[in-house]
Amino acid sequence: MKNKNLKILFITSEASPFVKTGGLGDVSSALPQSLMELGNEVRLVLPKYGAVDERKFKIHEIVRLKDIPIHLGNEIELVSMRSCFLVGNKTKVQIYFFDNQKYFGSRKGLYQDVNTKKDYPDNHERFILYAKGIMELIKKLGWTPDIIHCNDWQTGLIPAYLKTVYGDLEILKDTKVVFTIHNVEFPGVFPKEVFKLTGLPESVLNEITVNDGSKISFLKAGVVYADAVTTVSEKYAEELCTIDELGGIIKNTLKKRKNDFYGIINGVDYSVWNPENDKYIPAKFSIKDLSGKTENKKSLLEYLKLPVELDVPVIGTITRFAEQKGIDLIEGAIEDLLNLDLKYVLLGQGDKKYQQFFEKIQKKYPEKFAFYYGFNEELAHLIEAGADMYLMPSKYEPCGLTQLYALKYGTIPIVRYTGGLADTIIRVNGNDANGTGFVFKKYEVEDMMKEIKRALKLYQDKEFWIKLMKKAMSLDFSWYNSAKKYVELYKKLLKDVK
């Protein structure tokens, strides 16, 4: 098994550039490409939501994978696979789009209604169909994966199907399944009654119940039944097994599986996030020539209609409005922050209460604070490129990507010491430039403000700051090393097979 290149079926619920709500979308695009660059054959499965642009991506039908009947309780749903390629610099990943009009094609949102911002009430049906449908499609694919790599709760039932209903399937007898937790904030919890729609045996029900037996968790199914479980940083892996509030309903299950549980840090796709070739930013720049950075700062301020005062430091944040991201800390600190000599730009979406709050603040501080509500890929790149510092005060952070992007653009991260942020950012001590950013520990406004003020003070020392920027830009968080770790894990699992 050792030197054989592997066939990997990567199953996800979002992948950039087709559809993305957060880091999972970035990872599901970059990791498969990196695994291919290492010589493996990877195919990716993803739902064809209404938001996927069929024409732009030239998505076509696969006649032999059309209208396959899938039982969902007493109903029968027809699902099809459609296909296209994700063409990267060095690779071409085949994409299979899971197509069902009722549950995916007719909806613009991935997990939530785009208007109400509420979870679709039938998310359990949607992702039971997805898991079950994929199992049937694998049977017909004519391509047997060595590894099935599932991601987050949306794919959590697949390992359970593989180990039970499809346990005797001859073509999959040597196939191993890996389950990656990108975020336990979304455990895929539903009333126990929905279990009957899965067609899984009762033995599974006992394994995946949570909340005193009244609910089931699709995430837990992935953790229980996969051959190996991973998460996206070592620190987060440790925290999931030790912090009650974090590990929550799967803490004990993870602890039981600790010999099969790994933390592998995410990487960055530098073909997308790199100031030397970023297609979204007006001025490219590099360690050798930083002049473009100031031009981007100017464009950012203009775009957001803030006064162009280039000597004033700009802090940026790009985030989902979720408690986990430290939004309430930003909320609590914002007026103190805006009373300092700086500008703050915030791009985010989610909970309406935060939207209303930040809109009010924007009216009060129009010269210092710009708030953009919504999802805006171009602005996300412009913030990474044009800001001087990047604030990410997460309560918990599985890995975090935006702080890694910030480093590459010489935008110095200010982060809280948790999960992937603790694993990737080294605190600047004094002005010795061994560090790569600013790090505070307590989840408190005061602690955060202290660290922000320290950063602002050091920002005044131009020589030091440029050294710090260049250090940050020189760091390499590319996927290469992490993808190699996944391959090692896959091979370890397959070692006993042949």
281: left (phi over 0), alpha (psi -120 to 50) or beta: beta
195 vs 372, beta carbon nearer ligand ADP: 372
* Ranges within 19-58 binding ligand ADP (CB under 6 A): 22-24, 26
- Is residue 348 at the binding interface for ligand ADP, with CB under 6 A as the rule? yes
145 vs 393, beta carbon nearer ligand ADP: 393
Site string for ligand ADP, 256-275 (x = CB under 6 A): --------------------
Residue that the structure tokens 């603040």 belong to = 361
Rg (CA), the chain: 23
- Is residue 117 at the binding interface for ligand ADP, with CB under 6 A as the rule? no
- In angstroms, the CA 337 to CA 216 distance is 43
In the chain, count of helices (H) and strands (E)? 17, 19
Q: Which two tokens stand for residue 221?
A: 């199914």
**Pairing mode, strands 75-87 and 92-99:** antiparallel
- Is residue 280 at the binding interface for ligand ADP, with CB under 6 A as the rule? no
40 vs 482, beta carbon nearer ligand ADP: 482
| Cα 33-36-40 angle, rounded to 5 deg | 150
107 vs 325, beta carbon nearer ligand ADP: 325
CB-based closest residue to ligand ADP = 23
Specify the DSSP element, H or E, that contains 217: strand 215-217
Site string for ligand ADP, 372-411 (x = CB under 6 A): ---xxx--x------------------xxxx---------
CA nearest to 410, candidates 288, 255, 251, 231: 288
93 vs 380, beta carbon nearer ligand ADP: 380
- Is residue 349 at the binding interface for ligand ADP, with CB under 6 A as the rule? yes
334 vs 401, beta carbon nearer ligand ADP: 401
CA nearest to 368, candidates 312, 298, 296, 452: 312
Among the residue ranges 39-47, 244-252, 344-352, 407-415, the one whose residues contact ligand ADP (CB under 6 A): 344-352
Q: Which two tokens stand for residue 408?
A: 């590459």
Strand-pair partners of 263: 231
160 vs 425, beta carbon nearer ligand ADP: 425
Among 257, 320, 470, 484, binds ligand ADP (CB under 6 A): 320
Residue that the structure tokens 């039944």 belong to = 225
Phi, psi of 59 (to 5 degrees): -85, 130
| Contact set with ligand ADP (CB under 6 A) | 22-24, 26, 318-320, 347-349, 375-377, 380, 399-402
